[in-house]
Structures are given as structure tokens and as C-alpha cells.
Chains A and B, each alone.
Chain A
Amino acid sequence: MPAFAALRQFPSSDPTSETIVAVTPRKTRLRSDSDAAIGSPLRKSPRLCKEGTPHSSPTASIRKCLKTSLNLSGSPQKKQLSEDFVERQNWNPRVDETQRRAANEALHVSTAQMNVVCRENEQNRILDFCKKCIKEEKAGSLYVCGCPGTGKTLSMEKVKVMLADWENEECIQYPDVLPINCTSLANMNDIFSKIIEKNHSGKKRSRSTSSLQQLQNLYSQQTPGMKMILVIADELDYLITRDRAVLHDLFMLTTLPFSKCILLGVANAIDLADRLQDESVLLVLEYLFLICRTTLETLIVACFHPKVVSSLQSKPMVITFCAYSKDQIINILQERLRAVPYTVFQPQALELCARKVAAASGDMRKALAVCRSAIEILIGDSMLSSLDGPEDQHKPAENVSMSNQVRIDHVAAALSKVYKSPVVDTIISLPQHQQIILCSAVKLFRGGKKKDTTLGELNKYYVDVCKSTSIPPVGILELSSMCRVLDDQGILKLGQSRDDKLRRVTLKVDGADIVFALQGVRFFRNCLQ
């Protein structure tokens, strides 16, 4: 609850001023930080900026960028950065629309990067696995897991390309590649029919047996000249059905004696492979049990049955994509920004963004979104300052281009859009009666005796509060509809019940937050005391 934590440091009496305080002191502090870093005032006039960047013509900048990129390509990365920021300084999004566009494109999620940095290790492991499988003509399965936005799908694309290159060099028959996003499957079993279509598209398909059976038949007997098939299944956990049959069958395909299927599964859940293995052992045992109708003894013998053993060995190899660390995020952002021939971000700004995102989730998509919205904030800012800032014209020219960069405060504002909890602001902007409801709920839960209550109970308290201040209370139906609105906003939680009066009510935000938000109004202060 970052908002509240911030607020606690600045207690004050007026609610409206508080919300502003909650945001602004950090902002000003950051601004002063960045000021210190640059060592000069930041505000500047728009006119100056035009005069100050006389060589913002595209040709000049392109030439420069070419030079820098040539320089950069040789030198190691750490060194580049400082040079980078010294050399290219023509970024001025206000004057040049194309610059803004280029930066935006470079930072967009969909811009596919061919050189995925920071994931070389994982990529190489996947690639080695594929190479090994292809060389030995052996089936195998690999499971890639990791949090959202850690470059799993992107790495898979990259691996695909690298694999193609490798096969061209080695002159090995390129396996069929079948990328599937499991969310786009209408029916889970479609995955098998897709595989079989890919596998032998020319031959006729018999309609009597299911695709799965066909595949199983195909892979359990030797067919010479069959090509390897590389299945890349994204969002693999969508295949989990109630009995997990599809997922299990899919992995079991790779364990069949003459299987030619290399399965690369991608998903978020870290323990999917383990779960799968447990399941598979159970399933196989169950299967054997049914077939043999055995006693326990034979069951124990059955545990050494080759099928069980193979399924125990069949646990797919797991590669985990960890959440990006701060340094990795900085690295990736810089790599992306290298496509733009201007210095867009101050290094500190990038670092702030990276640190924050890394601390929260390590989600690269978030980091990119923050950067893009920081650019938008910068543009909006400079629009404003161009309206009211012509008085300080006497500024050194070199600051002009500096001040056009995205500074720490811009990034901080963008970050606050993402990570700041809006609870206090929301509560302050609520209508009066809804505030009274929250107030009575806080009173009800005070003392920590109860954690939840019913709507009827809440109504009683609410009527009491209203009576004590001679505000006409609204009826219980209205109250329940207001509670539903609060539920929508994520402040209350309403349970399910057939009877309106018996619905359970719980507070979803901290009571202290509500007290803090409402303490500015004397009416509520009296209530809550």
C-alpha cells in the first residue's frame, strides 16, 4: 500500500491538500535530485530550444548516429553508455514528430527485437536441447516457465531463427516447426489434429480414429523417413482440463518409442512439470491396475514395468526464466533505445524505472509502458511550459537538449500511474453517503473482534451514524446498491447470498486508510473518535 505509506509521512488536516501532498513532495524531491545531477535549472523556453538545437536536421543527426553506432559496435557495453549520452543530443520530440514516433516505436511491445539481450543463457540451453534432439532424432520435451513479461515467447522466436541458421550450416533436415498459442485453440483436442496435419499433410486422414490415436499409432511403430516435428506450445497451462488428459497425452507423445516430436511448452506456472509428472505416474498405475486387475503384489511388480519407469523418466527438462533484475531491464531498455539515434532518457531516469519495475514484478512490458508514458508526460509538460515559460530565456544552450530528455520526475510520474494505489483518492471522491457507509464499517470492525458482517448489521450502524448527525438515511435497498458500487471499486467485498440482508460484507482496504482519507472532514472525525 504505497499510497498510504507515503501519506503517513505527511499528516495534515485538509483532505484535499493531502492528496496533493501525497504525490508532490516525492515529485519535487526527485526533481531536485535530477537537478543536482545535471547541475542547472531545468525550465527553458521553447524558442530557445529551437535556437539551441540548430543541427537537429535529420541528415546531421543521422550522420552522427551512424558515427556513434560505429563507435559503439566495437566497444564493450559499459563504456558505451557514457559516450552515448555525450554524443547524441538532438532529441527534441516537440519540434520533430518523427523523433517521438521513432522512440515510441522502439519502446513498443510489438517491436520484435532480433537480438534479445539478457536471455542468452536460457536461449542457448533451449537451443542445445533442440540440437541434441534433432541430431539424435530422438523425441524430447522441454518446459519453459517464468513470470509474464520475461521474454519467454520472444526467446522462442529467437531460438526458432537460430535453429534454422544452424540447420542451414549443418545441412541437416529442418524439422517441421509448429508454433501454437494454446489460447487460440477452440477445443483442447485440436492440438493433436494440428500436429497430425503438420506431420503428414499430404496423406489422407481417416475419420474413424481420433487424431490422438493416430499420433500414438504413428509414433509407436517405426516409419522410415518421417520428419522431426518441433511443437512450440505457448501458454501451455490452457491445456489443463479437469482430468489433465490433454496435457498428459501431449507429454506422453514424446515418450513413445519412435516418437519424432520435440515439445517445447511455455507457461507461467513453475510447477506444471512436477504436477504433470505426479499425474502421469498415477495415471499409468491406474491404467495398469485396470488392465491386470492385480493384487497389491503385482502392483509393486508393475512399478518396475517399463512403461512406469519411462513415465518416471519422462519428466520434461525445465528452464526457468527469472524475473528481470534491475541491470537487465536497464540493459534491454538501452538496447531498444539504440535503435533511435537520439538520447531520449537520462540514465538516472532509466535506472529509476528499472529499479521500480524490478522491485515490483520484473515485467518487461510494464517497464516499456512506463517509458512510453514518461515520454508522453514529457511532451505534455513541454507543451505546458511552452505556454508559460518564455521569461527565462537566458539559459546556456547545452541545457536545452538536456532538458528535452526524459528526466527522473517524468518517469516517477509515469511510475506513480502504475504502482500508486488509488485508494485514498478514490475514497475522498466518493459521494457522502458512501463515505458514511465506510465510516460505519470502520466503526464496526474497530477493535479487531470481527472481520466481516452482514448487510443488515451494517445498515444498523449506518442508520446510527446518520441519526447521530441528523442526516436522513437512505433505505436498505439503496444501501445495498451503494455497497455494490463500492464492491465494484474494490473497497468493500460483498459475499453471495440469496437474501440481500444476509450478504457478508468485508472491507478490502485497510481501515487506517479510510480513517486517514476521511479525517479531514470534521463530521467524520467526530464519528470515528
Chain B
Amino acid sequence: MAETQQMKKFKTPSKGTPKAKHPISIDHHIAPQTPQSATPSAINLRRSHRLTAAFPEHRPAISSFNTHQSAAKTRKIFENPPLVLPTEISITPASPPPVESRKKRKFHEKSAEKSKDSRNVKYKHAADRKVKKKVYYKKVVYDGGEFSAGHDVYVKRRSDASSDDEDPEVEECRVCFKPAGRRVLIECDDCLNGFHLKCLKPPLKAVPDGDWVCCYCVARKNGEVMEFPEPQAGKKRARTAREKLLSSDLWAARIESLWKEVDGTYWFRARWYIIPEETAVGRQPHNLRRELYRTNDFADVEMESIIRHCFVMSPREFANAADGGDDVFLCEYEYEVQWHSFKRIAEIDNNENDGERVVDNDADWNSCDEFDSGSDFDSEEEAAYEDKKRNRLSQLSSLRPVAANSRKGQIFGLQKIGAKKIPENLRSRKQTDLEKAKSTLLLATLPKSLPCRDREMIEITTFIKGAICDEQCLGRCLYVHGVPGTGKTMSVLAVMRNLKSEVDAGSIRPYCFVEINGLKLASPENIYSVIYEGLTGHRVGWKKALNLLNARFSDENKCRKDTRPCILLIDELDLLVTRNQAVLYNILDWPTRPNSKLIVIGIANTMDLPEKLLPRISSRMGIQRLCFGPYNFQQLQEIISSRLKGIDAFEKVAIEFASRKVAAVSGDARRALEICRRAAEFLQNRKVMAGMADVEAAIKEMFQAPHIQLAMAVSSFCANNGETFPGYDTLLKVGCKLGECRLLLCESGTRHKLQKLQLNYPNDDVTFALKDSKELPWLAKYI
């Protein structure tokens, strides 16, 4: 660990520059070498190290790009990308449309979104006629740099900013403004500035162990004013791209795809990163200086606005890239722009592993004291990362020594290998009506419209709007109940989706939305840490989270204007009932505090949950209830036919039959959909519409109790016992088999002949099952 840290500290003098190592890259170029790039001592090893480590194949391209960049930006060299057709482009620079500031661009995006569809259609037409079309590339060499999907780049924020051009490749000492040279630059962990050991006061002899904060930052923390030395007159201090990014003068983006437009310009689809200051909660004490958030916001950007590469890494990579250079960033969370909530990227990437991992984590959180939670790491590397992060934290803030996101950066298994998505064009065979019907009837399919729950949805909408539209935003609580499969969760989520579009349109104030399913919690208390993580993107143990949430929702002294209203959706609320019901008490008590701005929506099946709770809790729960009754058959019919709209696969009678059957038993929409889907599967091979018979068969399969089916099956097994008596051993065997199927209840033990038997199911059922068996017509006589 100490080693890695030292590595990070050192901006060791270069043992040889990349340029010297790879003279070929220079040969590639028409561009004149600039004096800056020619001085070998100027190259900062940090960056070069990084390059060799991460992108060995890019080394020539990027270093050449560096040389080029420092030259006047008039010439552009386009190398032929190895994978695509040669596209030689004239040296005259293509005039790119100016990159507007982000807000503007976003706005355009939105307004252009509608027209996008039509544009796509246009392209499709173009493709049909085999004329010019968008060409997608895996890798593009543009402006000297080699870019491919998945790379992270700096993107210009303004087109006219002259400061974008001056991009110092070399980090200078903050005091003497000389490049590192042969001497060691040490990086402050707070302000990220580099310093010569000798320039410091008092000068350091060696790089210290552990984290180090420069004297300026120390002074600032103590409340003194200590200015950085001004550069000599006439010489302006050039800011590095990293500095510009962190002061939001640049963007960072991830390239999702690259293509050439019809007019020859290169574009890429960018997934934006944002710095913590730009999130709704702002920079928080646990954020590292180099931390970025990945957003779910995309935009198409011309490649002209790319400046160069940067490297955004997962926490684990970041921990190993201690000497990675100046353009290394850490990204651990994805920030949802609409909801202002955070999700861990690792969780998004391997969702299926998620459950068990959370359980593991939570177990740790519960079992061990917070002070020794660092002791059970799986590998040393993680421990190193952990310690480092902790050290940094302890300096950045006066938080407790345990880092918040301490359990991050783990890599799990090999899921990313092999599970490749099947490309769309391989599956583009036209679906038949039946297949379409089957896919829309799947429970996972999100229906386009939600019929039959209009009244409830209006009620939920007015509830939420009434709460968040007001200035003061009074806390509220709504309890939604109803039998399973009646669209409770779906309606609430649909309402939230509608509201989101209204937020986008600007007619509603933005708010946070945290969704929790009680079943997914390892223990009820964990809900605190889940809520806190959803609100701030910061994972802490539940005890701490409880304290922090208590402070957040009850703070009346500090009139924090910036807090948004927060909507908390808790599915399966009844699982939060603990022995003393403290969890529910706390959650339902927050909305009754002044200035809490919290709206709680609880969903559960039980109708009388509030009555079952302690009176002090039901008193805080308020009286707002919303009941989702079971669907009747007209509603089920409407739901199915609205899903099947435009698909000609079912007879109308068949749908009615299915919905009547389900409505008579449970009124569960999921079940009705399943029956119809099963019916569609039954007529797989026939080219007809699904009719009554198929639905009947599906219903039989679903509703008929398994024991009847089993008895039928077993009867055929017994059939060969027909007339001749097979003897006791066979009888015993048959008896055991029936016992295993739980048709018979057998006494356990080895008493064989004396074993007592009992029929597990009512006689009538057995009679019914055996009545029509064809092999044993004589059986009916006995019964």
C-alpha cells in the first residue's frame, strides 16, 4: 500500500519520453514539431506512464496528437482508420458548427428530438436507395487522436473560448512555474496542484508517506489567507484540462458510438460526465477531488469539439492508477439527471449479482462495528484502496475515519464476458402476429396505456402535485393497498413518469424520487441506508444513515432553500414492520416534522395494515388511503385487448372467457395475461387465431389443482397392474411413490406392511380424476 501511495506522490522525472521511445509517431506527421514538444524533459511521466499502461496501442497516435495540439490548430491530419474505408479529407479545416453551451444544446436536443425520428426515417430511405448514408465506425483517427467507442474525452464547452486552445501538456510547479524537469513534483491531495519539493516552505527532503496537503491548503483550512504566488508579469498561468474540467469550463464525455454524417463530418454520441458540483446535492464531503458522475444524458456532438483523451475509471482501476497522470478521474456512480438520484455503476452493470452482494454487504454492516469494518477485505488491493480513500477522507473532512463508499470497486466474476447482446439486425425477422401477441402479453412488457385505473391515477397525481407544487411543500403520506396483480406499483410508477415529463417541461419544480422495495431489503433497518444513498449517492451504515436522515428531515434551524421535495415510494410496506415498529415510526414521523419536504407513498397488500400498527404510528400515517380493488371481467378484458391492440391473434370470445374465469377467482391481471400467453403458446404451430379451446386448456393447466393431474398420471402408471395382483413388494413401491407425490400421507418408518396410509386429498377429487380413465374402465365401478 505504501508503495502505491508513493508512486502516486511522485511525479518522477522522466526516464525517457514517449517521443524518444517512439520516433515513428513523429514520422507520421506533417505537422511541424513545436519547441515545447521537442523538449524531452517537459514530458510528465505521470501521463506517459498512464498511456503505456492503459492504451499501449494508442501511444503513437496520442503523443503525436500532443505535438499537434500545441501547434496552431489550423491543420488537421486525418489518418485512415484501420478499420474503415479510406476517407481522405482535405487539409482545410472543416468548419464545425459552434458547440453551444450545454443548456442551449440540451434545449436543442429536446426540440430536435421529435424531428429525430423523421430524420432516422430519412436515413433509412437513403439506405434503401443505396445512396449516401451514415457510416458507423469502431475507431476513428481524428485530429491526430485515435478515438473509439468506450473512450472518454474532454469536450469543449464553448466554441469561442480561446482558453481551450492553450492546453499545457506539462504540469508546472505551482510556485516556481517551471515544469517538473528532473525533479520530483508532489501533488497536494486537496487542491491537486503540483509542487517541487524544493519550492515548498519548508522544503521537503523526501516525499512523505501517507497523504500530504500543501501549506496553502492547510492555511486555508485554518482560516488564514495565503495566496498562491502570482506568476511573473506577462506570463499567464495556463490551466490544465483537468483544472478546467473541474471548474466546469470543459465537459467530459464517454464516446458511445462514432459515425460519419452524410456531409462528411464526424460525429459521436456522447454520454456526459458531470462533476459533483453540478449535481443537485452539490459537492459533498465524501467526494474525492477527481470524482465524476456518469449521467444518463446523451447528446450527439461533432468530433471537432473533442479536445483529447481523459481516463475515467472505476474505483478499483483508479486505485491502481496511482501514477496515472493528470487526466485520470474516478467514476463510481451514475447520476440520473431526471430523478437526481445516484446508482452504483457496478450495480447497473451486473444486476443479477446484485441481490446477493447487497446481502453480503449488509451482513457486514450489521455485524461489525464501524471502526473495524475495514478488516475483512477479500484482497490486499482492496484494502489498499480502502485505506487510501479513508486517508483522503480524513483530510478532506472531519468525518469519521471510515470511508463512506468503502465497499466499492469490487469486481465480480466474469459476467461481462460472453453475455453479448444479439445485434438488432440478426433479430429483425418480421414477427408474426402470434409472436407479437406473446411478447406483449409478457408481464415484463411495459404496456403503452394503462386502462381501468384512471381514477386511482388521478388521485395519486393530485396527491403528489398537491404536495410538491406548494412553496412550503408540506409532508404527506399515502397508503396504497389492494390485492396482488391490481396495478398498484404500476400506477404509481406511471404517475411518476408523467410527472417527470412535466418536470422536463418545466411546469413542476424538480424533486427527488427514491423507490424502495421492502422485499429487497436484507433487514428493515437497511432502508435508512438505502434512502440515504438514493438521496446523496453516499453509502453508510444504517445507524449513521438514521442519524443523518433525522438531521436532514428535522432541521428547522437551518432554512435550506436548496432542498428539493423528496418522494419516497416504499413497495411492500408491511415488510418493514419490526417487533417494536421503530422503522415505520421513524419513516412516518419525518413527514410530520416542519420543513421535512418528504412525501411517503406506501404500497402493501393488506387492507388493515394501519389498524394493525401501534396507534402512535397509525396516527402519524394520516388518513389518506387508496384502495385498488380486484379487477372485474370487463376491466380484465379491456386490459388484455388494449395490450393486443392491432394484433390479430385472439378471438374476442376467448379473451372474454379468460377474463371472466380470472375475475371469478381472483381478479388478478397478471394471471389473466399469463393465461392468454399460455393459450398463445398452445397454438404455436397452427395458423389460426387462439380460440376458446386454447384458453380452456391454459386455464385448466393453471387452475386445476396439481394433485388431480398427478392422479391421472399415476393412474396410467398403475394401469398395468390391471387384473393380476402384483404382490406386496410392488404394492409397497407404488405406495411409496404415491407418498412421495404427497397423494398419500404415509407414516414414516420401516414397518412396511404395518405402515399406516391416509389419503391426502378429498375422496371426491380422486373419484373425479379416476372416473374417466380409459385404461381402467372397471375402476369406476369400485368408486
Partner-B contacts on A (CB < 8 A): 101, 104-105, 108-112, 147-149, 181, 183-184, 186-187, 235, 238, 268, 361, 363, 365-366, 369-370, 373, 376, 414, 417-418, 422, 426, 429-434, 456, 459-460, 463, 474-478, 481-482, 485, 488-490
Q: How far is the CA of A268 from the CA of B707 in the complex (A)?
A: 52
Q: Which residues does chain A contribute within 8 Å of B623, judged by CB atoms?
A: 366, 369-370, 373, 414, 417-418
Q: Which residues does chain B contribute within 8 Å of A460, judged by CB atoms?
A: 762
Q: A148-B619, A475-B703 are in contact. Are A431 and B589 (CB under 8 A)?
A: no
Q: How far is the CA of A414 from the CA of B704 in the complex (A)?
A: 45
Q: Which residues does chain B contribute within 8 Å of A459, judged by CB atoms?
A: 762
Q: Looking at A183, A187, A365, A474, which has the most chain B CB atoms within 10 Å of its CB? A: A183
Contact present for A475 and B707 (CB under 8 Å): yes
Q: Which residues does chain B contribute within 8 Å of A434, judged by CB atoms?
A: 665-666
Give 12 new A-B contacts, CB below 8 A, not counting A431-B630, A433-B666, A478-B703.
Answer: A112-B594, A184-B547, A184-B586, A430-B630, A431-B663, A474-B703, A475-B706, A481-B666, A485-B483, A488-B605, A488-B607, A489-B483
Binary contact track B746-765/A, C-beta < 8 Å → 1, others 0: 00000000000000011011
Q: Which residues does chain B contribute within 8 Å of A235, judged by CB atoms?
A: 585, 616
The number of chain B residues touching the other chain, given as a range, is 35 or more
Binary contact track B586-629/A, C-beta < 8 Å → 1, others 0: 10010111111000000001111001000110011011110101
Specify which of B542, B607, B704 is in contact with A426 (CB 8 Å cutoff): B607
Q: Which residues does chain A contribute within 8 Å of B707, judged by CB atoms?
A: 475
Which partner residue on chain B sits nearest A417 by CB separation?
A: B623
Q: How far is the CA of A418 from the CA of B594 in the complex (A)?
A: 24
Which listed segment binds A: B429-437, B467-475, B713-721? B467-475
Q: How far is the CA of A369 from the CA of B474 in the complex (A)?
A: 13
9 of the cross-chain contacts (CB-CB < 8 Å) are A101-B471, A149-B619, A181-B589, A184-B550, A369-B622, A432-B665, A474-B665, A482-B665, A485-B605
Specify which of A370, A431, A476 is in contact with B667 (CB 8 Å cutoff): A431
Residue B453 at the chain A interface, CB threshold 8 Å:
no
Contact present for B593 and A183 (CB under 8 Å): no
Residue B582 at the chain A interface, CB threshold 8 Å:
yes
Which partner residue on chain B sits nearest A149 by CB separation?
A: B619
4 closest Cβ pairs, A-B complex: A475-B705, A490-B608, A186-B543, A148-B619
Specify which of B475, B624, B666 is in contact with A110 (CB 8 Å cutoff): B475
Which partner residue on chain B sits nearest A109 by CB separation?
A: B592
Q: How far is the CA of A431 from the CA of B589 in the complex (A)?
A: 36
Q: Which residues does chain A contribute within 8 Å of B615, judged by CB atoms?
A: 147-148, 268, 361
Partner-A contacts on B (CB < 8 A): 466, 470-472, 474-475, 483-484, 542-543, 546-547, 550, 580, 582, 585-586, 589, 591-596, 605-608, 611, 615-616, 619-620, 622-625, 627, 629-630, 663-667, 703-708, 761-762, 764-765
Specify which of B470, B547, B589, B665 is in contact with A433 (CB 8 Å cutoff): B665
Q: Which residues does chain B contribute within 8 Å of A373, judged by CB atoms?
A: 623-624
Tell me what chain A mostly uses at the interface: helix, strand, loop, or mixed.
helix
Contact present for B580 and A238 (CB under 8 Å): yes
Q: Which residues does chain B contribute within 8 Å of A108, judged by CB atoms?
A: 474-475
Which partner residue on chain A sits nearest B616 by CB separation?
A: A148
B541 to chain A minimum Cβ distance, whole angstroms, is 9
Q: How far is the CA of A474 from the CA of B662 in the complex (A)?
A: 11
Q: Which residues does chain B contribute within 8 Å of A181, judged by CB atoms?
A: 550, 589
Q: How far is the CA of A278 from the CA of B331 in the complex (A)?
A: 59
Q: Which residues does chain A contribute within 8 Å of B663, judged by CB atoms?
A: 431-432
Q: Which residues does chain B contribute within 8 Å of A482, judged by CB atoms?
A: 665-666
Q: How far is the CA of A433 from the CA of B591 in the complex (A)?
A: 40
Contact present for A476 and B470 (CB under 8 Å): no
Contact present for A489 and B622 (CB under 8 Å): no
Which partner residue on chain B sits nearest A380 by CB separation?
A: B462
A349 to chain B minimum Cβ distance, whole angstroms, is 17
Which partner residue on chain A sits nearest B702 by CB separation?
A: A478
Q: A108-B474, A373-B624, A488-B483 are in contact. Are A429 and B630 (CB under 8 A)?
A: yes
Q: How far is the CA of A488 from the CA of B542 in the complex (A)?
A: 30
Q: Which residues does chain A contribute within 8 Å of B589, judged by CB atoms?
A: 181, 183
Q: Looking at A105, A476, A489, which has the most chain B CB atoms within 10 Å of its CB? A: A489
Contact present for B665 and A238 (CB under 8 Å): no
Contact present for B666 and A485 (CB under 8 Å): yes
Q: How far is the CA of A112 from the CA of B556 in the complex (A)?
A: 11
Q: How far is the CA of A45 from the CA of B605 in the complex (A)?
A: 42
Q: How far is the CA of A453 from the CA of B619 in the complex (A)?
A: 34
A506 to chain B minimum Cβ distance, whole angstroms, is 15
Q: Which residues does chain B contribute within 8 Å of A370, judged by CB atoms?
A: 623
